[in-house]
Structure 1
Amino acid sequence: MSVPWPVQVDIVAAFSLLGFVLVCIPLYWHLEAWNVGCVMYIFWIGTQSLFQFINAVVWRDNAINWAPAWCDITTHFSIGTSIAVCCASLVINRRLYHIANITTVSMTQTDKRRNIITDLLIGMGIPVLSIVLYWFYQGHRFDILEGVGCVEEYPNSFLAYLLFITWPIVIGLVSGTYCILTLRAFFRRRRDFSALIASNSNLTFNRYFRLMGLAAIEVLCTVPLATYNLVVDATQPIYPYRGLADLHFGFSRVNQKSAVSWRASPAVVSAMDFKRWNVIACALVFFCFFGLAEEARKHYRLALTSVAKRVGITTLGGSSGFTATGSRGAASKGMGGSSFGRVTIPTFVQRNTRARASMDSFSDGLSTNISIGGGADMLDEKAAYSPVESAAEGSSVNGSSTFLGSPISEKGVSPLETLPPVSFPPAPKRVYDPESPTRRETEPDVPASVRPHSIDMV
């Protein structure tokens, strides 16, 4: 069952957008590694994929000349992309060849700068030159095909073969020569290959072989397909060249063709399908080599962790969290150290404290350690609040309250110091009952931690 034409246009638009997104994902770390060949590949294929998506959306069901300037830009860029993919492969193969045949481990900044300039001249200079030369064999301004968008137009002339059609074959053969020499040098110097990789701080074994695989696939696909395209064009009638005046007659015209008219020619349909899906295939192949690699997965994990932290989610396996006492970073060992999404609140414990008849019932065995000062003046003492203090021994009874020290009166003397000394055991001569109605007003108030039915914060 054949797919309806509007659905085919939507599929091409969706895959073009997907190719643009996927091919741009590895751009950052290729910029870090100064891989000029890969950066050029991303620039030309990514931009052409984006242009295909926009053209498919704008001219999905019409052939109206909405934006003439846009069509001028996209048609010239399409000419440059046809050459730029081969040039990017040539840059990659050339760099791998020089790495495999390097004689010195260290490279100076001048050598690195010279290599980058040479790669830019190949990856950007040759495609720009092909765009400039397009004017010499261009028939008229451009064509608009319904469902495709803006398309470049040139007659099947001798200048087209000389200035455009044969270029991918020549560049592909040069790139293939570099690829064969690289493999030869690699097998001859396998033992010294570790030192060769070490001389390039931004290159690893896996990345080297991925670059070699990408370049090899480009060579194996470019030369046969370009040769096939040359043979097909050679079977068509050749337009006789009579000068630029004849070639550019009616140069500003724009041919607008509906889907019914241009799809009536099987050759045109085959050429348009090959042109669009070739760009999408290049984007997907590049992502398979570099978007699924180990360093790419590492960047994905870092990006996911960064996003999770921004929205307040702790990733699995983290050691931070809130324990049952409200202190951060003391995760329970029984939970395996995982604190994903775990939040606890402070615990409030209600103690059923009953009044006791003896003063020694105020101690519950808990104390608070406090460090005061520093260096030689550092004191580590157990401070607590107790209603009873022995004047003879100068010791205090531990209490469970977190209040430190005794209240001081206006004269600077604690009311607790006025209490008579108590000996333990025997029982004190005088029994202190906090609920006694005969308690003197001059006696200090009883702390909250020993009052009946009190609530202590832990």
Structure 2
Amino acid sequence: MHHPEFPVVTILSAVFLLFPLPWHWSAGNVSMLSMIFWLFLSNIIYAVDSIVWAGNVNEVAVLWCDITTKIIIGSNVALPAACLSICIHLEQLASVRQATQTQASKRRRQYFELGLCFGLPAFVMALHYTVQGHRFDIIEDFGCRPATYISWPSILLIWILPIILAVLTLGFAACAFMHFMRRRANFAHHLEGRSSLTTTRYMRLILMSIFEMAWGLAITCFALWFATLSYRPWTNWADVHSDWNRIDLYSIVFMPSFLLRDYIIVWWAVPISTWIFVLFFAFGHDAMEGYRAVGLWFQKHVLRRNVGKAGPTNSFSSKPSVR
């Protein structure tokens, strides 16, 4: 195995993503749950691939590759879409346009976020077939990766769309921050009745989105440049999809050093995106309170120990104040 760190990094990343899951689930926070979902899936896929294809390019687990290569395509759109939906909500909260939040408005927002965070990626996954030159690639140590016929339609679908979503996210984040600066003296009072967010949590969401999208924008632009090295003109459907069942195999022994370096850079995009998310939401004060609450619940209901009565913030059933 040339990269023994690959499965270790991705498995640990997937485990850490589960820490903030309970309170986001209880809050019905669709955007945050979708980020956990897509990042978790991507890390698991990368971990399995790095183990199965460590030091080889054997044509095994073909059905696995058919499924996971589509998920990889979807996750490239899902992460910026989730950050965009977060920043749209934050901008609306901080502006004067949104009145007190009701159950009906929350439900409408959840439907919108479901469409943006899951419907749009699913649509892109299905549309990817139009620019899929062959079944997939298998790269030694990296595993199976999507096969894309690099031309102007694929550039628009696979790379330009995430870039547009990232730019929109940064724009809404900037607007949300400007609203905050205008009302910073009484911002906490402004949020009352509109959300369970505090000023600290509001800023944490903005900063997480900015860091995620700045990193995502950089790596997507790099991947776009990398892809254009294999650019070919779009001819016709039959030509693009000729020999579609082909599986291309790439051994790193015959791979140029610059190409291997670029594959490694793109590979690290998922773990680093995961760490950004984890650093903002898995080790804060709210997270620590949540861990203590889970510990108390486990001791009381599983170990059957007589523990002291938890305060209001240490109740496992209390509603997390993420939004």
Mark yes or no: TM-score above 0.5. yes
1:240 and 2:243 correspond: no
C-alpha offsets along residues 38-66 of structure 1, whole Å, 9 cap, x if unaligned? 11111111111011111112222322222
Higher alpha-carbon deviation: 15-24 or 218-227? 218-227
Q: Is the 8 A contact 1:55 1:148 kept in 2?
A: yes
Q: How do residues 130-169 of structure 1 correspond to structure 2 at under 5 angstroms?
A: 130-169=124-163
* Displacement after TM superposition at 1:308 (Å): 4.0
DSSP-derived class of the 2:148 partner: coil
Taking a change above 3 Å as real, the CA distance of residues 40 and 157 of structure 1, as seen in their structure-2 partners, is: same
Q: Is the 8 A contact 2:133 2:149 kept in 1?
A: yes
* Distance in structure 1 (CA, Å) of the matches to 2:59 and 2:227: 28
C-alpha offsets along residues 420-442 of structure 1, whole Å, 9 cap, x if unaligned? xxxxxxxxxxxxxxxxxxxxxxx
| Structure number with bigger Rg | 1
Q: How do residues 415-426 of structure 1 correspond to structure 2 at under 5 angstroms?
A: none
> Which of 284, 291, 299 is equivalent to 1:300?
291
* Displacement after TM superposition at 1:270 (Å): 2.6
Code of the aligned partner of 2:138: I
1:252 and 2:223 correspond: no
- 1:222 equivalent in structure 2: 216
Q: How do residues 270-349 of structure 1 correspond to structure 2 at under 5 angstroms?
A: 270-309=261-300, 310-311=302-303
* Distance in structure 2 (CA, Å) of the matches to 1:255 and 1:271: 18
Structure with a larger share of its residues in helix: 2
Higher alpha-carbon deviation: 199-208 or 10-19? 199-208
Aligned residues: 308
With the length of structure 1 as denominator, give the TM-score of the two structures. Answer: 0.63
* Distance in structure 2 (CA, Å) of the matches to 1:243 and 1:92: 39
Code of the aligned partner of 1:42: I
Taking a change above 3 Å as real, the CA distance of residues 221 and 215 of structure 1, as seen in their structure-2 partners, is: same
* Distance in structure 1 (CA, Å) of the matches to 2:282 and 2:263: 28
* Displacement after TM superposition at 1:201 (Å): 4.8
Q: Is the 8 A contact 1:105 1:196 kept in 2?
A: no
DSSP-derived class of the 1:255 partner: strand
- 1:40 equivalent in structure 2: 34
C-alpha offsets along residues 361-383 of structure 1, whole Å, 9 cap, x if unaligned? xxxxxxxxxxxxxxxxxxxxxxx
* Displacement after TM superposition at 1:149 (Å): 1.1
Code of the aligned partner of 2:231: I
Q: Is the 8 A contact 1:96 1:208 kept in 2?
A: yes
* Distance in structure 2 (CA, Å) of the matches to 1:85 and 1:122: 10
- 2:103 equivalent in structure 1: 109
* Distance in structure 1 (CA, Å) of the matches to 2:115 and 2:106: 14
1:204 and 2:198 correspond: yes
Code of the aligned partner of 2:75: T
Taking a change above 3 Å as real, the CA distance of residues 245 and 203 of structure 1, as seen in their structure-2 partners, is: same
With the length of structure 2 as denominator, give the TM-score of the two structures. Answer: 0.88
Q: Which runs of 5+ in 1 are unaligned?
A: 1-5, 320-458
Q: Is the 8 A contact 2:2 2:141 kept in 1?
A: no
C-alpha offsets along residues 116-159 of structure 1, whole Å, 9 cap, x if unaligned? 11111111122112111111111100111221111111132121
* Distance in structure 2 (CA, Å) of the matches to 1:105 and 1:68: 52
Higher relative contact order structure (alpha carbons within 8 Å, sequence separation ≥ 6) = 2
Taking a change above 3 Å as real, the CA distance of residues 157 and 98 of structure 1, as seen in their structure-2 partners, is: same
- 2:55 equivalent in structure 1: 61
C-alpha offsets along residues 292-314 of structure 1, whole Å, 9 cap, x if unaligned? 11121112112333444544666
Q: Is the 8 A contact 2:7 2:50 kept in 1?
A: yes
C-alpha offsets along residues 227-270 of structure 1, whole Å, 9 cap, x if unaligned? 33333434x25312211100111100112333323xx2234313
* Displacement after TM superposition at 1:274 (Å): 2.1
C-alpha offsets along residues 137-195 of structure 1, whole Å, 9 cap, x if unaligned? 11100111221111111132121112212112111111111011111111112244223
Code of the aligned partner of 2:278: F
Q: Is the 8 A contact 1:33 1:202 kept in 2?
A: no
C-alpha offsets along residues 207-228 of structure 1, whole Å, 9 cap, x if unaligned? 2111111011123223333333
- 2:260 equivalent in structure 1: 269
> Which of 152, 155, 166 is equivalent to 1:172?
166
* Distance in structure 2 (CA, Å) of the matches to 1:238 and 1:201: 47
DSSP-derived class of the 1:166 partner: helix
Q: Is the 8 A contact 2:101 2:195 kept in 1?
A: no
Q: Is the 8 A contact 2:138 2:249 kept in 1?
A: yes
Q: Is the 8 A contact 1:144 1:151 kept in 2?
A: yes
Taking a change above 3 Å as real, the CA distance of residues 275 and 255 of structure 1, as seen in their structure-2 partners, is: same
* Displacement after TM superposition at 1:18 (Å): 0.6
Q: Which runs of 5+ in 2 are unaligned?
A: 310-323
State the Cα RMSD in Å: 2.1
C-alpha offsets along residues 373-409 of structure 1, whole Å, 9 cap, x if unaligned? xxxxxxxxxxxxxxxxxxxxxxxxxxxxxxxxxxxxx
C-alpha offsets along residues 68-114 of structure 1, whole Å, 9 cap, x if unaligned? 11100110100111111111110111111011014454223222221
* Displacement after TM superposition at 1:14 (Å): 0.5
Taking a change above 3 Å as real, the CA distance of residues 226 and 104 of structure 1, as seen in their structure-2 partners, is: closer
* Distance in structure 2 (CA, Å) of the matches to 1:237 and 1:64: 24
C-alpha offsets along residues 275-299 of structure 1, whole Å, 9 cap, x if unaligned? 3211011111111101011121112
